[in-house]
Structure 1
């Protein structure tokens, strides 16, 4: 499914495609990609709306699965900690957040697996 009917966000398949494209850009341009998985304890549509309006427009906010949203961010330096902190602030209600930053040296499945383990 390309778009999730509950949240109106990109779905899992579109997230994987965008992640793959972001990793290619990171590898070829020397930038970084951060993937943040957010387990939302409250209303998923409200959290989706808060992230979509509170984050930069070039970040991808997607529904990863069930009550988990994903944020995909491309950036020039650093790691995902400032992005994760902003997400915590926007979602509130103490969401569980797992994140990973990559320089594009691995595939989308490995990035997601790493984020899930953290």
Structure 2
């Protein structure tokens, strides 16, 4: 029985075609730093996909029963390579207008499902 759970999140990029292109380059298959993908997998995230339209990003995370968002946040704060990656990504990202202070990716609410 599949016990995975799905999280969908959104974030904006600065509306600059050159910055958006560079951000995409950092995320193309095989381009993300291995320490980053290792930290994602070690937190119980079994799959992660990021989609882009214009300057809006949409992330889908499939997580297993070991995933805990608070534990992942703590792991990230204590991982120097993740902090380096986050500082690098900050030059591309802007928070959504309704994001809380310091929040990047904002959880989305599911409003429809084809049954």
TM bucket (normalised to shorter chain) is 0.3 to 0.5
Instruction: State which structure, 1 or 2, has the greater radius of gyration over its C-alpha atoms.
Output: 2
* Greater relative contact order (Cα < 8 A, sep 6+): 2
TM-score by structure 2 length?
A: 0.46
Report which of the two has the higher share of helix: 1
TM-score by structure 1 length?
A: 0.45
